[in-house]
Amino acid sequence: MTTRKTILPLLMLGIPVLCAQAPPDFSGVYYPLNPFGANALGRGAGAGKQPPATGGKQKGPPPRPTQSAPLADGSQGRSPDAPSLTPPYMAKWEMIRKSRMAGSSEYDNTAKCLPPGMPAMMNMAYGMEVMQTKDKITFFSELNDALRRVYLDGRKPTQKILDDPTYAGYSTGHWEGDTLLVDTVALHENSFIEGFSPHSDVMSIKERIRFLSPGLLEDRITVTDPKALTKPWETVKTYRKATAGTDELREFACPEGLGDAK
Amino acid sequence: MRAHFIALAVLGAAFFHATPGLAHHSNVAFEVTKVVTITGVVKDFQWRNPHTWVLLAVDDGKGGKVDWAVEGRAPGILLRAGWSKNSLKPGEMITVDMSPARDGSKTGLVARVTKADGTILANAPPPTQ
C-alpha cells in the first residue's frame, strides 16, 4: 500500500512528461511562396536554352516579359490588404509615396543596405535560413544578410533593451504544442511595416509559426501599433523547405555595391 | 550616412564618366511595368551585390555606338535562376529585355537576357510552389 501511494503520484507526474512531444525542428533553408507577387514576370518559365524555332513540337520562344519587377511605388494607391493607418501615419505614407513615384530611394531601406526590419523581414524574398536550438531560433534572410533571434529560454526584454530599439526588434518565444509563439518588441521607427507603411515606436508583433505539412512552414503575423494602426494588421507568410541543389544561401554583402562600379 | 552615400555616388560618377551611372538604388528608379528590348555587345559583366550589372555597347542607328548599363538582381537569386559569374563574356552579343530608367538615362532593370545561342537567363528562379 505504501509502495502504491508512493508510485502513483510519481506516475501521474510522469505522464505529462512522457506524453509531451519534442517541438518540431524548423532548421533549414526555405523559399517563400510567391515572393514577388502572383504576377511576377521575367522569371522561371521559359528560362534556359531554347530549341530552334523549327524544332518539331515547339511552340516558339517564350513570351517576352512585360514587367521586370513588381510595381511598388504607391502609384496604384494602397492595397485593401495593407495596414490600416491612422491619419498622421497616412500622411507620412503619402509623403513616402510621392518620393517613390518621383523615383527616389530616400524611403527604401533596402536600397541603403539597411536591414528590412520586422515584420517586413519575414517576406524573405531571397530565401531564409532557420537555425534552431533548444533555447534559441535564429532566422536569417539572404536579402541584406539580415538576422533575428528568438529566445526560447524564458528570458524577457529588460528596460535596457526596450530603450534600445532595433530593426529586428527583440523576440522571445515559447512552444504551444507544435506551434512556436513569438513576441517581438523594441522596434525602432526607421523601418516600414510591410516595406512601405510607417509605424511608431510602440509597434509590437505576435507570430504563430508551425508546419502546415512536412517542409511547409507558416508564419501568422499580427502587428499592433496604437499610434500608427487603426486596428491590428494580420498577414500570413508561407515558406517551402529547399531541396538539394537550392539549399544554400549566398552572401549578400550589400555595401559592396554602394557608390558605384568597381 | 546620406552625405557619405552621395559623396560615393558623385565620386563614382566622376570616375566612370564614360559609362552610364551605376548608382545603387531601388526599383522605383525604373518604369518596371514597361519593357523595352536592346541588343548589343557585352563590354563588362559585374557579378556583385546588391545588384549585378551588364555594360553593353548598342548601335545608335547612326553608325555609332551608345553605352548602356543594365541592372540585374543579386548574385544569390541569379545563381538559383541559372546564372553564374561567367554567364556573360565581354564581346558576346546579347539581347536584353529591360525596364528603362525614369530619368531617361541609358540604364535599365533587367527582365531577362537572351544569349546569341538562344539561352534565356531569367531574372529569378521559377516561383516556389
- The CATH class, in words, for B25-122 is mainly beta
**Which stretches of chain A score pLDDT less than 70?**
1-20, 35-60, 259-262
Which of B30, B50, B112 is opposite residue A254, by nearest beta carbon? B50
Can you give the pLDDT at residue A11? 54
| Average pLDDT for B25-52 | 92
DSSP state letter for B114: E
Q: Is B14 helix (H, G, I), strand (E, B) or coil?
A: helix
Domain ranges of chain B: 25-122
Residue B73 has pLDDT above 70, yes or no: yes
Are A146 and A118 a contacting pair, CB within 8 Å?
Answer: no
Pick the residue from chain B with its C-alpha nearest to A110: B26
Which residue is closest to A45 within chain B, CA to CA? B126
Q: What pLDDT, on the 0 to 100 scale, is given for residue A70?
A: 85
Torsion of CA A6, A12, A16, A17, to 10 degrees: 10
How many angstroms separate the Cα of B30 from the Cα of each of A229, B107, B109, B127? 31, 9, 7, 23
Average confidence (pLDDT) over B45-59: 95
Q: Which residues of A touch B121 (CB under 8 A)?
A: 47
| Cα A219 from Cα A180, distance rounded (Å) | 9
Q: What are residue A13's phi and psi, to 5 degrees? A: -65, -35
Q: What is the Cβ-side half-sphere exposure of residue B65, based on CA atoms within 13 angstroms?
A: 13
For the residues of B48-63, what is the DSSP string, one character each? -SS-EEEEEEEE-SSS
Q: Which residue has the cell 522569371?
A: A43
**Domain definitions of chain A by residue range:** 28-33+72-242
Q: Which of A44, A68, A254 sits opposite B35 (nearest CB)?
A: A68
- pLDDT given for residue A4 in this prediction: 55
pLDDT in tens, B92-128: 999 999 999 999 999 999 999 999 999 999 999 988 8
Model confidence at B15, pLDDT cuts 50, 70, 90, reads: very low
The 10 Å Cβ neighbour count of residue A140 is 18
Instruction: Determine contact, residues A137/A131, Cβ cutoff 8 Å.
Output: yes
A residues 20-49 lying closer than 8 A (beta carbon) to B:
31-36, 40-49
Q: Which pLDDT belongs to residue A41?
A: 40
Q: Are A218 and A237 in contact (CB under 8 A)?
A: yes
* pLDDT band, very low/low/confident/very high, at B23 (cuts 50, 70, 90): low
Residues of B in contact with A68 (CB under 8 A): 27, 30, 32, 35, 97-99, 108-111, 123
SS (HEC) of chain A: CHHHHHHHHHHHHHHHHHHCCCCCCCCEEEEEECCCCCCCCCCCCCCEECCCCCCCCCCCCCCCCCCCCCCCCCCCCCCCCCCCECHHHHHHHHHHHHHHHCCCCCCCCHHHCCCCCCCHHHHCCCCEEEEECCCEEEEEECHHHEEEEEECCCCCCCHHHHCCCECCCEEEEEEECCEEEEEEECECCCCECCCCCECCCCCEEEEEEEEEECCEEEEEEEEECCCCECCCEEEEEEEEECCCCCCCCCCCCHHHHCCCCC
pLDDT recorded at residue A259: 61
Half-sphere exposure of A122 (CA within 13 A, CB side): 28
pLDDT of residue B2 exceeding 70: no
Q: Which residues of A touch B50 (CB under 8 A)?
A: 110, 113, 144, 252, 254, 256-257
Rounded CA-CA distance B34/A45 in Å is 19
Instruction: State whether residue A254 sits within 8 Å of chain B by CB.
Output: yes
Architecture of domain A28-33+72-242 in this structure: Beta Barrel (2.40)
Q: What is the pLDDT of residue A58?
A: 47
Q: What's the mean per-residue pLDDT of chain B?
A: 85
